[in-house]
Structure 1
């Protein structure tokens, strides 16, 4: 069975109603693959969910915790629970530093990719083109459509 890191873009775009993301997510769940996330993905997804549900910015949410408390968060928690969590540790962080330096990835993307590399996953499921540059060099499959997923 193939194993993939699921990038936050797939989950965030699904929450925004993007049908391509929803189809990809459904194919992943119904397919013969293992999906993994880490705390970086979870944090990004929950934060965007809160922004979508409240219509408020980071600055407002940070200063008004009652807004965060009022949001029904169970749907996003259930979405995240569909995946197994992988820990970010000092070894993942070391790989992420290399990815930032070699490929110019931003820190969150580097941590997501480094998690896939460190745990020897087969690839990353993403809608983010930032991973294209490293995928081939780091021996990661990059999946961005249900069709690509079905060919594995």
Structure 2
């Protein structure tokens, strides 16, 4: 088995950080926004996690509208799919079934078993 390289874009950063904040605080996104100045979180684990990925700048521009329309995706998911298309990436690790409608992506959502 070879080495697997992972890629993320700024939308993925944003979604992971928000998910982390929601899990750690047990607050809704709206309540997090209200309390953000007083939330004292240690983000070192997230920084370590993000460091294993290559960050891809997204320059999808108007392509987002086409991807939203063709695959019926919300804007954030369309930007993720557009980044994959832009960089020729055809596999995505996700539990989001919306990506199953994107015909140029293969969903990988099974945990990798160590040997």
TM-score between both structures, scaled by the size of structure 1: 0.66
Q: Cα–Cα, structure 1 residues 31 and 79, in superposed 2: closer, same or farther, change >3 Å?
A: farther
Secondary structure at the residue paired with 1:56? coil
Deviations 1:131-150 (A, max 9, x none): 11113xx3x33222246x9x
Q: Which of 69, 94, 103 pairs up with 1:101?
A: 69
**Which residue in the other structure is 2:4 paired with?**
33
Contact 1:95 1:118 in 2 (8 A): no
Deviations 1:27-69 (A, max 9, x none): xxx952211000000001101111111122222221223333x
- Whole-angstrom CA distance in 1 between matches of 2:22 and 2:2: 30
CA RMSD in angstroms comes to 2.1
Are positions 1:74 and 2:44 aligned together? yes
**Which residue in the other structure is 2:96 paired with?**
128
Q: Cα–Cα, structure 1 residues 142 and 61, in superposed 2: closer, same or farther, change >3 Å?
A: closer
Gaps of 5+ in 2: none
Superposed structure 1 runs of 4+ greater than 3 Å apart: none
Secondary structure at the residue paired with 2:92? strand
**Count of residues paired in the alignment:** 113
- Whole-angstrom CA distance in 1 between matches of 2:45 and 2:94: 21
Are positions 1:85 and 2:55 aligned together? yes
* Higher relative contact order (CA closer than 8 Å, sequence separation 6+): 1
Contact 2:100 2:106 in 1 (8 A): no
